[in-house]
Structure 1
Amino acid sequence: MANTMTSVFITGATGYIGGSFLARLLVPSYEYKLNISILVRSKEKAESLQSEFGIHSIVGSLEDEDILEEAASQAHIVVNFANCDHLEGAKAILRRLKRRHETTGDVPILLHTSGTGTILADDRGMAITGEIYDDLNPDQIETLPPKALHRHVDLEVVAADKEGYVKSYIVLPSLVFGIASNVLVDAGLARKVSIVLPGSIRFALDRGEVGMIGKGLSVWNCVHIDDNTDAYMLLFDTILAQRNRDIGHGRDGYYILENGQFSWYELAKELAVVLHRQGKIKSDEPSTYTEEELVKYYGSLEMAYIFGTTSRGRGNRIRALDWKPQKLAQDLLATVEAEVNNSTA
């Protein structure tokens, strides 16, 4: 397989997670030969990616179903890092992969990014409830209601695998943290931070205190961006090496990425300590957002309350492939000052 050119189409390839993945594929020592196409929104970015890295970039978005279908039709592997709640975009990709299968007999691969928001419990910062989901237990995952976050797209992806025209692998990162460092970030062509901490920093600077939902008692799993990328690469390489017969796909193809657990209070407290020490806010203790503030900062109560939920999973399936993450929850807290410095520079 190492001597065969494999066609790959990537959406969300200049985002925080997607950019880190794409940068790994560009390393000269990477053993597999790939014909990579990516979807980008900006014509200027597409031109830069082509001229600086030789990456074939297609200008468009998940709204452009014709563009998506055409790009997907040319790929044996589609890797989706873009909006995991965009159902019509996912359907457009699946339609074309189905047609590719019917026309050529190829069984294409869809590596889809979801998230552990799908397993959350609505605790609003006041408790720790809900199940701990094991990705080696598909029966447990199938108890998730269709209205769970991200679930409507995940179900479409699994259904396609069941029909047999695609092999699907659904990756569920937990809260991804850390400042990404790679050639695309250095070139200003990929995002280097997630949205959670930068958003909390902006809100804190505006209100003079770090905010949290309720008492911040609820907990989430987390994973460092480098460990997260290691997991994607491990799964991707396993597929390329034609070892995918030995790993779960479809119903058995959920891969939770986690290595540690933090409470929303712990994160808010560390952020408050750092911002207060730097003289940017008035208190080193976080305070509870009012409903008015939640709407102001997050756009709606529904969106805001996600940041007070509990989400706990166990990434046993990817560990069975010998994934060995290095960073823990204490490393999340240790990166807060770097995130502050990056956001306030």
Structure 2
Amino acid sequence: MANNTDLKIFYTGATGYLGGDAWALLIEKHPEWEAKSTLLVRNEDRGKVVQAKYPGARLVFGDLSDSTLLETEAANADIVVHCASIEDPHSSQALSNGLAKRRRDGPAYWVALSGTDNITWRTIEEGSYGTSYDHVYDDMDRVSEVTSLPDQAPHRDVEKIQQQCITQNPSVKLAIVCPSCVYGVGEGCGNQRSIQLPELVKYTIENGYAFKVGPGLCRWPNVHVRDHSRIVLSLIEDAVQGGTRATWGKDGYYFAENGEHVWGDIAQLVAEEAKKQGLVDNASVKSFSAEEIDTQLDFGSAFYGTDSRCKAKRARQVIGWRPQQDSLEAEIARAVSIEGRSLGK
């Protein structure tokens, strides 16, 4: 794809948190690709917002259930970037079907997102919420372990569809980016708010105390949204240049992490910062069982009680990724301030 005058990119999730930030970075670095891109947008109201900021992009209206639309656009694309729901197998199947029908010259490249809750399957299976394991997943030396997780692992059904696509269609080159606990304010034109840190902060301000699940010893990796976007950008750039630098195919798996945190420690830091900003009276952290926290927060046990440990070796070693943003801990004060204002405090 060295001659990219006829380049066609199909992009889903451009108004989402992860997809919106990655799209913003992509066009910031390569404004000439705006006119070569088609964006899936849910409705005309969202389309007006996107078109106002990116007038050169072509928009198609629909959602992830519109299999015919997804198939058609994938079949006509050189690069498919799927940043919409990582939980939905039907959209990945539709994109796979479309890529299989593709008749354009050269290979097709598919950049898809997953999430490191896929490696929390052991916590879920054993019910060991709030505790930690020694095992750390590796996307280089032991990548086969990551690409063959048990069927009950979160997102495994989606990843199997994507992997099957490249097995059946060798001309399709796949890279899966697996973000961890993503933090920071996104720069997209839609949702700019993450989930895990903001929801923990919001809960703390509303209830007057933070929380942990069980002993709060479980760990998660974390990454700033812009650093995650840099991985996506590098893969798209490599695809445009012919896919010679990055790993594509069955081993093309990229964790996105810049260290890890213990959830109980983060809860304590959030409580202390909320007290410092005058939003709570004391910096207390209460412990809840998985069942108890799930009655108070959607996915409470999954987001704050599971153990997810990995290292982003491939991004660092193969595409030269270097995280540049502040740490999760450094983001806490800003997150507390933002959520406090949102709650009218």
Same fold (TM over 0.5): yes
1:141 aligns with 146
What are the within-5 Å matches in structure 2 for residues 2-151 of structure 1? 4-27=5-28, 30=31, 35-54=36-55, 55-100=57-102, 103-104=103-104, 106-120=106-120, 121-122=122-123, 124-129=128-133, 131-136=135-140, 137-151=142-156
1:129-166 deviations in Å (ceiling 9; x for gaps):
15211111233224420110111111111111122242
Is the aligned partner of 1:338 residue 2:338?
no
Q: Is this contact kept in 1: 2:79–2:239, CA < 8 A? A: no
Is the aligned partner of 1:318 residue 2:312?
no
Q: 1:70 to 1:31 in 2, by over 3 A?
A: closer
Matches of 1:129 and 1:88, distance apart in 2? 33
Q: 1:215 to 1:282 in 2, by over 3 A?
A: farther
What are the within-5 Å matches in structure 2 for residues 227-306 of structure 1? 227-242=227-242, 244-290=243-289, 293-299=292-298, 304-306=301-303
1:34-56 deviations in Å (ceiling 9; x for gaps):
51111122311202322432122
Matches of 1:116 and 1:83, distance apart in 2? 14
Q: Is this contact kept in 2: 1:2–1:32, CA < 8 A? A: no
Q: 1:28 to 1:139 in 2, by over 3 A?
A: closer
What are the within-5 Å matches in structure 2 for residues 189-204 of structure 1? 189-204=189-204
How far the C-alpha of 1:250 sits from its partner, in A, is 2.2
User: Secondary structure of 1:251's partner?
Assistant: coil
How far the C-alpha of 1:255 sits from its partner, in A, is 0.6
Q: Is this contact kept in 1: 2:211–2:286, CA < 8 A? A: yes
User: Secondary structure of 2:28's partner?
Assistant: coil
Q: Is this contact kept in 1: 2:254–2:314, CA < 8 A? A: yes
Q: 1:241 to 1:30 in 2, by over 3 A?
A: farther
Q: Is this contact kept in 2: 1:9–1:79, CA < 8 A? A: yes
How far the C-alpha of 1:237 sits from its partner, in A, is 0.8
2:164 aligns with 159
Matches of 2:128 and 2:41, distance apart in 1? 35
Deviates further, 280-289 or 164-173: 280-289
Is the aligned partner of 1:174 residue 2:180?
yes
Q: 1:97 to 1:280 in 2, by over 3 A?
A: same
Unaligned runs of at least 5 residues, structure 2 = none
1:98-146 deviations in Å (ceiling 9; x for gaps):
111xx44643211000011111241755422152111112332244201
Deviates further, 9-18 or 190-199: 190-199
Deviates further, 157-166 or 319-328: 319-328
The alignment's C-alpha RMSD in Å is 2.2
Matches of 2:298 and 2:33, distance apart in 1? 44
Deviates further, 14-23 or 198-207: 198-207
Q: Is this contact kept in 1: 2:107–2:172, CA < 8 A? A: yes
Q: Is this contact kept in 2: 1:157–1:250, CA < 8 A? A: no
1:68-113 deviations in Å (ceiling 9; x for gaps):
222222211110111111001110111111111xx44643211000
User: Secondary structure of 1:153's partner?
Assistant: helix
User: Secondary structure of 1:215's partner?
Assistant: coil
Q: Is this contact kept in 2: 1:168–1:250, CA < 8 A? A: yes
TM-score relative to the length of structure 2: 0.88
Q: 1:33 to 1:199 in 2, by over 3 A?
A: closer
Deviates further, 217-226 or 64-73: 64-73
1:255-279 deviations in Å (ceiling 9; x for gaps):
1111111100121111111212233
Matches of 1:327 and 1:51, distance apart in 2? 28
Q: 1:289 to 1:207 in 2, by over 3 A?
A: farther
**Residue type matched to 2:324 in 1?**
Q
TM-score relative to the length of structure 1: 0.88
Matches of 1:53 and 1:325, distance apart in 2? 27
Deviates further, 5-14 or 42-51: 42-51
User: Secondary structure of 1:322's partner?
Assistant: coil
Identity of aligned residues (%): 28
Matches of 1:162 and 1:247, distance apart in 2? 18
How far the C-alpha of 1:218 sits from its partner, in A, is 0.9
